[in-house]
Structure 1
């Protein structure tokens, strides 16, 4: 039997394709030769569970991450994330903004990044008076003490990418921003964001699906983005009734590309004994755009979904036994300015099989007002 040190580069590289991210880093720490092998990506990476991006560590300013598969925290030194607000994640990249609403796309595992232009006429799209009124006076037992500049990053609701920037430079970033969750896009080389003309009212989520961007409104209406001749949202697909006639205040909607099928997921809320808004359950719907009809889904074929400010993720639980089959993992999605009052504690996993709610992280954890946890699929290659 050959010694490990005598294994060829190709064999070692093939072995690394079976390793999740932490083990791949450990593999690379063995020696200089193995380190160079660990940085290659000739084979598809091993399937892995998403990580949670948490807050800055006060002592070191390193960013905390939580590995779901290991139930373990890691602190990564990513200076570009310090003090910035995370608005979304997609293909292993984070969309982060500072207090001046200038943003970057960054891969926190490689620190590759793109600088993004400021949002167009951003302050003109926010009612400052209304915004300040939303800030509670009793935050953490005293005045919240936040300025308008500190508040406004929270009004970038979500951001996604069409493609992984490491695989192609021909990608598009799409965001929902402002009080009405307007949509805008940016491509490498553009000097500014282009706002997309759309119907009155906000959008709950956006999705890149089979070559097009889609959005869903609080009334379960689905829109496709037409880029030519002028960017606009155009309604498509069937009319999907609201659950119990409830509109946006009681339901949050998500769109996901689920193995080539579009799914619309309704997240319902209830008020607990402390008057906090917490997740009550999920309803999964498959809109059939071409047939102009829809189906209600009662399971997701043993997969698990990960919802939040990220581009929604699905993983095969059969290949990743440490996650719940037919489970919907969720993080706090709201724009609440008082997590102490309204609940960044709202993290959990919903079992679609028996309709029960469970936990995957301490319900007593408190996240600072600057950020809420965001799912990300590690992409260090």
Structure 2
């Protein structure tokens, strides 16, 4: 089988309020499968998945930006709704310096992608890990959403100062 370079098809951008800083998070998508398949059956085996994240810190006063390579103890949750930022030290089991993301497309085929494109991007190791092994998670029709914790001042107050 011939190896083909991935084709990056899109970049979804999110504006994130991160501890008083404004971040522009770019979620880069790629096509997985044989992009050059000629018959329709093989074309149905093409999937769009998240390939990587690129984060920039925006400086509105200076009208410039710089790449952000470390979120510290911060964790970003991305999906269909508004981004959510939490301090990983306050939520056991939450990975620090990471971006959790949900799939953005409906599951059209019972293959290992579709809405299964959800995972955790680890800034430290520069890798994307799945939540579950392929085939374990099968959403009904819509992409999953994040349930937000109680946003009391005691949970977030010192994190955003």
Interval of TM-score (by shorter of Structure 1 and Structure 2): 0.7 to 0.9
Report the alpha carbon displacement of residue 317 of structure 1 after superposing the two structures with TM.
1.5
Relative to structure 1, the CA distance from residue 347 to residue 339 in structure 2 (aligned partners, 3 Å threshold; closer, same or farther) is: farther
Relative to structure 1, the CA distance from residue 380 to residue 262 in structure 2 (aligned partners, 3 Å threshold; closer, same or farther) is: closer
Aligned equivalent of 2:89? 318
Count of residues in Structure 1 that have an aligned counterpart in Structure 2: 132
1:102-141 matches, within 5 Å, as none
Q: 1:91-125 CA distances to partner (integer Å, 9 max, x unpaired)?
A: xxxxxxxxxxxxxxxxxxxxxxxxxxxxxxxxxxx
* Residues 339 and 367, structure 1, Cα contact 8 Å, conserved in 2: no
* Residues 346 and 363, structure 1, Cα contact 8 Å, conserved in 2: no
Question: Residues of 2 paired with 1:332 and 1:339: CA distance?
Answer: 14
In the alignment, structure 1 residue 338 sits paired with structure 2 residue 108: yes
Report the alpha carbon displacement of residue 378 of structure 1 after superposing the two structures with TM.
3.8
Report the alpha carbon displacement of residue 321 of structure 1 after superposing the two structures with TM.
3.6
1:296 aligned residue (48, 67, 70):
67
Question: Residues of 2 paired with 1:378 and 1:305: CA distance?
Answer: 13
Aligned equivalent of 1:368? 140
- Note the aligned Cα RMSD (angstroms): 2.4
Relative to structure 1, the CA distance from residue 275 to residue 325 in structure 2 (aligned partners, 3 Å threshold; closer, same or farther) is: same
* Residues 304 and 315, structure 1, Cα contact 8 Å, conserved in 2: yes
Q: 1:259-290 CA distances to partner (integer Å, 9 max, x unpaired)?
A: 11111100111222342111111001111112
Higher relative helix content: 1
In the alignment, structure 1 residue 328 sits paired with structure 2 residue 88: no
Aligned equivalent of 2:12? 252
Relative to structure 1, the CA distance from residue 294 to residue 339 in structure 2 (aligned partners, 3 Å threshold; closer, same or farther) is: farther
Aligned equivalent of 1:286? 57
Question: Residues of 1 paired with 2:149 and 2:47: CA distance?
Answer: 32
Relative to structure 1, the CA distance from residue 345 to residue 292 in structure 2 (aligned partners, 3 Å threshold; closer, same or farther) is: same
Aligned equivalent of 1:271? 31
The secondary structure found in structure 1 opposite 2:115 is coil
Question: Residues of 2 paired with 1:337 and 1:318: CA distance?
Answer: 34
1:262 aligned residue (2, 13, 22):
22
* Residues 79 and 103, structure 2, Cα contact 8 Å, conserved in 1: yes
State the TM-score, normalized to the length of structure 2: 0.72
Q: 1:45-86 CA distances to partner (integer Å, 9 max, x unpaired)?
A: xxxxxxxxxxxxxxxxxxxxxxxxxxxxxxxxxxxxxxxxxx
Relative to structure 1, the CA distance from residue 261 to residue 324 in structure 2 (aligned partners, 3 Å threshold; closer, same or farther) is: same
Relative to structure 1, the CA distance from residue 255 to residue 324 in structure 2 (aligned partners, 3 Å threshold; closer, same or farther) is: same
Relative to structure 1, the CA distance from residue 378 to residue 311 in structure 2 (aligned partners, 3 Å threshold; closer, same or farther) is: same
1:11-160 matches, within 5 Å, as none
Question: Residues of 2 paired with 1:301 and 1:265: CA distance?
Answer: 16
Question: Residues of 2 paired with 1:330 and 1:362: CA distance?
Answer: 15
Question: Residues of 2 paired with 1:308 and 1:362: CA distance?
Answer: 20
* Structure 1, unaligned runs of 5 or more: 1-245
Question: Residues of 2 paired with 1:319 and 1:339: CA distance?
Answer: 38
Report which structure shows greater RCO (CA 8 Å, sep ≥6).
2
Report the alpha carbon displacement of residue 376 of structure 1 after superposing the two structures with TM.
2.0
The secondary structure found in structure 1 opposite 2:116 is coil
Work out which of the two has the higher radius of gyration on C-alpha atoms and give 1 or 2: 1
Relative to structure 1, the CA distance from residue 320 to residue 311 in structure 2 (aligned partners, 3 Å threshold; closer, same or farther) is: same
